[in-house]
Amino acid sequence: MTFDLTASLPARNFEMSLSLGPSETLAILGPNGAGKSTLLGVISGLLRPESGSARLGGRELFTLDGGTRRWSAPHLRGTALLAQEALLFPHLNVLDNVAFGPRSTGASRTEAREVARHWLDEVDALALANRKPAQLSGGQAQRVAVARALAAEPELLLLDEPMAALDIHTAPLLRRVLKRVLADRKAIIVTHDVLDAYMLADRVIVVESGRIVEEGPTRQVLERPRSHFAAGLAGLNLVAGTLGQEGITTPDGRVFAGQHDPDWSLVAGQAGVAAFPPSSVSVFLGDVHGSPRNSFPVTITDLEPHGDQVRVRASSGPSNTLSADITPAASADLGLAPGMEVRFVVKSALVSVYPA
């Protein structure tokens, strides 16, 4: 019982191909406009790609190529969609909202309500059964929406940033609920939050500009990111270049010395990346004496508070942004300000180097 999809929609610069094992939860990460919602639209049948095919379990969702144009309507797909907004039907109470799915697929009113009560209980919202959606808080509404999606017994559950509209106090409860209900079912969750990916997903796909740029088990992608987006989510600096004995050589000739993972056998000349946390970066004014390795000039672009540190963002080239975390006192001593030219020094013991 797997899910396979290949779809392309040139009008939206979208071209993806992915598959999902039984009871696997996949997180889709990526910047705004990368095609995450387009992907969910294509899977749920709300958006028709130009070509491609998809199968869920033994069923065909669509086959669109030269001669064959088969397309099954959204209601036949068994892919319930949970969006950022709960979108509970405002004219139905909570119980009938959750009963909507089973009722629409042929259950009697009594049966449907029985199913609805079960799922409301599952998301700790049974007490809200008789309320109207307008009387719910954002977190309650979203929990009810989860119950409504699950009551439809989808073979594949699609979640489009379900936590994005919730405040930081209500999101943890929903996250716990999702962790419980997603445990043994196929689901695809689009998220901006690295915590969602860690807690809920077995595997991560990073998309940029309508393409999959990175894919792998959650922990591996977030600890060994290969794309700038994943590195940004994981809070790491990322420098791309070619692998060498020393570490990474960037296209402009700079060398980042670092630690190779012993599991990887090094092939010189292979493309690779160096990743290091902002806390491993020190900031100096003027020239640095001693080891010249991992020391390079940068121009400060921004200073912002980050926890009890100051995050210094600086550019070391046209498209490469690096961050350093230093104490507020150090920042004041150095008199840092945007536009200043300083030197970043990275401890090579804290740089991981691995193939891209």
Partner 1 sequence: MNRRSGTGYTGVPSWVYVIAAAGSLFILLPLVAMVAKVNWPQFIPLITSESSLTALGLSLRTSAASTALCVVLGVPLALVLARQPFPGQRLLRAFVLLPLVLPPVVGGIALLYTFGRQGLLGKSLEVAGIQIAFSTTAVVLAQTFVALPFLVVSLEGALRTAGSKYDAVAATLGARPTTVLRRVTLPLVLPGLASGAVLSFARSLGEFGATLTFAGSLQGVTRTLPLEIYLQRETDADAAVALSLLLVAVAVAVVGLSYGRRRSSAPVKEQL
* Among residues 68, 71, 89, 304, the one that binds partner 1 under rule CB under 8 A: 89
Of 4-12, 101-109, 242-250, 262-270, which segment contacts partner 1 by CB under 8 A?
Answer: 101-109
139 token code pair? 């977190």
Is residue 104 near partner 1 by the rule CB under 8 A?
yes
Biggest CA-to-CA distance, the chain: 80
How many residues bind to partner 1 according to rule CB under 8 A? 26
Is residue 226 near partner 1 by the rule CB under 8 A?
no
Is residue 3 near partner 1 by the rule CB under 8 A?
no
Half-sphere exposure of 28 (CA within 13 A, CB side): 29
Is residue 116 near partner 1 by the rule CB under 8 A?
no
- Spatial contact of 273 and 352, defined as CB atoms under 8 Å apart: no
Is residue 241 near partner 1 by the rule CB under 8 A?
no
* Among residues 18, 20, 27, 83, the one that binds partner 1 under rule CB under 8 A: 83
Sketch the per residue contact string, 133 through 162, with partner 1: x for CB under 8 A, - otherwise.
---------------xx--x-x---x----
Following DSSP, what letter does each residue of 273-300 receive, concatenated? EEEE-GGGEEEESS---S--TTEEEEEE
Assign residue 209 a region: left if phi > 0, alpha if psi is -120 to 50, beta otherwise? Answer: left
Following DSSP, what letter does each residue of 152-218 receive, concatenated? T--SEEEEESTTTTS-TTTHHHHHHHHHHHHTTSEEEEE-S-HHHHHHH-SEEEEEETTEEEEEEEH
**Amino acid identity, residue 19?**
S
Query: 44 or 227: whose CB is closer to partner 1?
Result: 44
CB 292 → partner 1: shortest distance, Å? 58
Is residue 337 near partner 1 by the rule CB under 8 A?
no
Torsion sign over Cα 189, 191, 197, 203: positive
CB 65 → partner 1: shortest distance, Å? 24
Query: 100 or 354: whose CB is closer to partner 1?
Result: 100
CB 61 → partner 1: shortest distance, Å? 12
Torsion sign over Cα 281, 282, 285, 288: negative
Is residue 81 near partner 1 by the rule CB under 8 A?
yes
Is residue 79 near partner 1 by the rule CB under 8 A?
yes
Report the Cα–Cα distance between both ends of the chain, in Å, rounded: 32
Sketch the per residue contact string, 26 through 65, with partner 1: x for CB under 8 A, - otherwise.
------------------xxx-------------------
- Spatial contact of 276 and 282, defined as CB atoms under 8 Å apart: no
User: How far, in Å, CA of 142 to CA of 174, rounded?
Assistant: 8
Is residue 75 near partner 1 by the rule CB under 8 A?
yes
- Spatial contact of 113 and 103, defined as CB atoms under 8 Å apart: no
Is residue 80 near partner 1 by the rule CB under 8 A?
yes
Of 80-88, 205-213, 273-281, 331-339, which segment contacts partner 1 by CB under 8 A?
Answer: 80-88
Contact residues toward partner 1 (CB under 8 A) are 44-46, 73-75, 77-81, 83, 85, 87, 89-91, 100-101, 104-105, 148-149, 152, 154, 158
